[in-house]
Structure 1
Amino acid sequence: MHLLQETGRAGRDGRLSYCHLFYDDTTYLKLRSLSHSDGVDEYAVGKFLTHVFSSETKQHEKICSLVIESASHKFDMKEQVMQTILTHLELGEVQYLRMLPQLNVCCTLNFHKSFPNTLAARNIIVAAIVKNIGVATSDVLAEIQTLKMKGEVTYEMKDPAFCYTVLEFPKDICSLSSHLTKWLAEIETCKVRKLDIMSSAAVAAMNDSSTSEVSSGAKQTLILQSRILDYFNGDDKCNTPSKTTQNCAFLRADIKVFLQSNRHAKFTPRAIARIMHGVGSPAFPNSVWSKTHFWGRYMSVEFSVIMEAAQTELFNFVDRNAALAT
């Protein structure tokens, strides 16, 4: 679906302008698949929370960091999803942590004039670094920048990370994980529903049978306005079924072949569903997995249906491997 406005008119010279809506089912299905790109499973959320509230973070007022790139790959979560979870932990009913400004956790320091120990003798910050004494990050960066201006050092910052301080440890991580997963699932469902409603409204307007071009355009506008009003009024008519199918005869067979062909990888049902929908993720990027024969092959099948089939085949795959090992 693409909405285009005629160039250089509406709001500029006062003349009437028209917007043109171009619609095709392939684009709709692709956008619908992408709506699942931020989704996460309870298992992944549980692993993420276990890391955030690990034994290393129990020290009172300790500043903790979570390197974004490595964590994103480890938990197969996008950066914005991890940030959403952390923000909820700070602003939810219970404040579990306090978020701090992001920073780079790794700084490579190169000395050009003086040796580190020599420079440490006349610079307290360098001395602190050499002795591994805790100093405020802002003080360190400011002093290193000063040393750079003097030609003493150059430095490279890398590994951006989320920073936080744990204020309270959850009594039951499993319960918290379940709560967060349900909340994120509602967000995912809402995204898909909005797209289905938009698609339904566009199709209803395009299917208008008026013969006159002028009257047809006016009626299409009224249809769109009515559908939009229904949506914002919370009308039940907005619960429009999608154009995806609920089953496919070869789905489970193809998932079985896919698993056998990629024994080296550790999949989750969601990861398999994403690949079948042609959607990449941090742990399964487009650049690698778009080369597989099954990439985007089942875009027209409901995402949840693929996840259920994938879960069944994953269990069967594990059972078969266990039987072969004995």
Structure 2
Amino acid sequence: MSIVNYHLNKDLSELRRHTFGNSVDRSALKKLVSMVFSPCRCAEICKRSANIPNTKRVAQLEGDQTLVTEELKQDDEENTSSDHHQATCLCPGHERALSIEGTVKALDIKEEGVATLLCYLELHYPSWLEIFNNVYSLCNIRCYGGPAQLQAIAKKCPPVAVAVARQKLEGKSFSQSSELEFKVINVCDAMGWNSGLVKRELTALQWDSGHGGFRKSGVLVELSDLSFHFRSRGDLTDDQVDEVLGFLTSRTQRQEQAELGQLDMLADALRRVSHKNSWMCSEEADLARSDSLKKDLEDFFDRERRNHGDEEELNIKVTEPNSNALSQLLADIRQFMSIYGHDHSLSGRSIARILHGIASPNFPAEIWGRVRRFWRAHLHVDFPVVVREATKMVVAMR
């Protein structure tokens, strides 16, 4: 049970790296919230339909912004007030898919980190977000029979017809094209279809049925781009978006502080029962210190169970570096930005991670670990201090 304080402090620095590797900037959280709750046109279409007398919306196609209406008979019971109409015109939610690879790269957060943040949102706002299993969201159709075959399957397969129509509105021509690529989830959401059934119908295009059984049709359907799959509302107000962002920020900060606090508590418990030298406990076991450590560990886990879900924030002490260490830190940050700032999108946290030797999706250890001049160069300086100084430098050099 002999532990030297120097080695214990080094272990703490190494263990804290795992916590700081999962920390997230507010700017990254803001990007994620804008991706998940991207604005829709439900309120605009609902307001437009309210201004059309004796009409009823029966279908909506977001791609070409078409509103299909049908005439209704005059009926006093159906003449509701505008306030009631607006109350019933809330966004029902849209089926969406975010590419895992693209989201991880855009946010510089690991896949499991993004999934955790989405779970936080679903648990706190169950009526605004519903998470499904990950899906392949990109469909690629290649017709070996040429453009004529693509036109033929568009006539018999509504999802393909909608995808072709949406891309024609964007100016793409299919007169000489035998290949079609589109996002399945977007088409399904626009038409109100079940994405699972649509994918089954698309994959069925590869086979033709006849008297002799099934045979290949000459159509190749490939589903790719694994994505986060969920249903979310798109009519959140600015105040509601700020509320979501504030919740995510405070939730991630509490998690970070809780993990750091647990490390410090365990370190203090080990430090209290440790000996200065190994020979002091090599002859016989110190039962008194052993029992003391057992009690501290039991209290630690009991406290963790009692505080589960508690929103009480812990105050983590941050040690400020001396003037020499701070000047060296600023010089290294400035030099790092002058070398790599033009080729990479740098933030204060990304620079701090490299200086602490923490890998991230955009800055993997396999590549940046070779930059020995900066990798783990300031592990002895507290991570929040490095983030603070690096952020100041990034803002000043923009």
CA deviation vs aligned residue, 1:212-248 (integer Å, no higher than 9, x gap): 64423x445323312212323549xxx9988x95312
1:69–1:56 CA distance, 2 compared to 1 (3 A): farther
Shifted more, 50-59 versus 103-112: the winner is 50-59
Q: Answer whether contact 1:96 1:170 (CA < 8 A) is retained.
A: no
Q: Answer whether contact 2:205 2:221 (CA < 8 A) is retained.
A: no
**Equivalent of residue 39 in structure 1, options 23, 26, 30:** 23
Aligned counterparts of 2:341 and 2:161: Cα–Cα separation in 1: 51
CA deviation vs aligned residue, 1:288-316 (integer Å, no higher than 9, x gap): 33233211111221111111111222233
In structure 2, the partner of 1:73 is 105
1:297–1:65 CA distance, 2 compared to 1 (3 A): same
Give me the identity figure in percent: 24
**Equivalent of residue 116 in structure 1, options 119, 131, 150:** 150
Q: Answer whether contact 1:100 1:163 (CA < 8 A) is retained.
A: yes
Give the secondary structure class of the aligned counterpart of 2:24. coil
In structure 2, the partner of 1:257 is 335
Note if 1:99 corresponds to 2:177.
Answer: no
1:246–1:160 CA distance, 2 compared to 1 (3 A): same
In structure 2, the partner of 1:136 is 194
CA deviation vs aligned residue, 1:162-211 (integer Å, no higher than 9, x gap): 22222361442234312321111110111222223333334444427754
In structure 2, the partner of 1:285 is 364
CA deviation vs aligned residue, 1:9-49 (integer Å, no higher than 9, x gap): xxxxxxxxxxxxxx765454222112111111222212221
Give the aligned residue type for 1:263: G
**Equivalent of residue 166 in structure 1, options 232, 247, 261:** 232
**Equivalent of residue 246 in structure 1, options 303, 320, 336:** 320
Q: Answer whether contact 1:280 1:286 (CA < 8 A) is retained.
A: yes
In structure 2, the partner of 1:313 is 393
TM-score between the two structures when normalised by the length of structure 1: 0.75
How far apart are 1:277 and its partner, in Å? 0.8
Give the secondary structure class of the aligned counterpart of 2:360. coil
Aligned counterparts of 1:122 and 1:262: Cα–Cα separation in 2: 53
In structure 1, the partner of 2:253 is 185
Aligned counterparts of 2:116 and 2:357: Cα–Cα separation in 1: 24
Aligned counterparts of 1:98 and 1:183: Cα–Cα separation in 2: 19
Aligned counterparts of 1:79 and 1:261: Cα–Cα separation in 2: 29
User: Number of aligned pairs?
Assistant: 291
**Equivalent of residue 299 in structure 1, options 358, 379, 390:** 379
Note if 1:52 corresponds to 2:119.
Answer: no
Q: Answer whether contact 2:100 2:226 (CA < 8 A) is retained.
A: yes
Q: Answer whether contact 1:104 1:158 (CA < 8 A) is retained.
A: yes
Give the aligned residue type for 1:75: L
Q: Which has the higher contact order (CA 8 A, sep 6+)?
A: 2
In structure 2, the partner of 1:20 is none
Shifted more, 118-127 versus 274-283: the winner is 118-127
CA deviation vs aligned residue, 1:85-121 (integer Å, no higher than 9, x gap): 3223222157322223321111223445793344556
**Where does 1:197-236 land on structure 2 (aligned, <5 Å)?**
197-207=265-275, 211=281, 213-216=283-286, 218-219=287-288, 221-234=290-303
Aligned counterparts of 1:120 and 1:205: Cα–Cα separation in 2: 75
1:121–1:233 CA distance, 2 compared to 1 (3 A): closer
Aligned counterparts of 2:141 and 2:256: Cα–Cα separation in 1: 43
Q: Answer whether contact 2:257 2:316 (CA < 8 A) is retained.
A: no
Give the secondary structure class of the aligned counterpart of 1:55. coil
How far apart are 1:144 and its partner, in Å? 4.3
How far apart are 1:50 and its partner, in Å? 2.1
Shifted more, 105-114 versus 264-273: the winner is 105-114
**Where does 1:3-22 land on structure 2 (aligned, <5 Å)?**
none
- Bigger radius of gyration among the two: 2
Q: For structure 1, which runs of at least 5 residues remain unmatched after alignment?
A: 1-22, 319-326
1:192–1:148 CA distance, 2 compared to 1 (3 A): farther
In structure 2, the partner of 1:8 is none
How far apart are 1:284 and its partner, in Å? 2.6
1:208–1:222 CA distance, 2 compared to 1 (3 A): farther
How far apart are 1:278 and its partner, in Å? 0.7
How far apart are 1:276 and its partner, in Å? 0.9
Aligned counterparts of 1:110 and 1:229: Cα–Cα separation in 2: 63
TM-score between the two structures when normalised by the length of structure 2: 0.62
**Equivalent of residue 195 in structure 1, options 263, 285, 289:** 263
Q: For structure 2, which runs of at least 5 residues remain unmatched after alignment?
A: 1-6, 43-90, 167-186, 208-214, 305-313
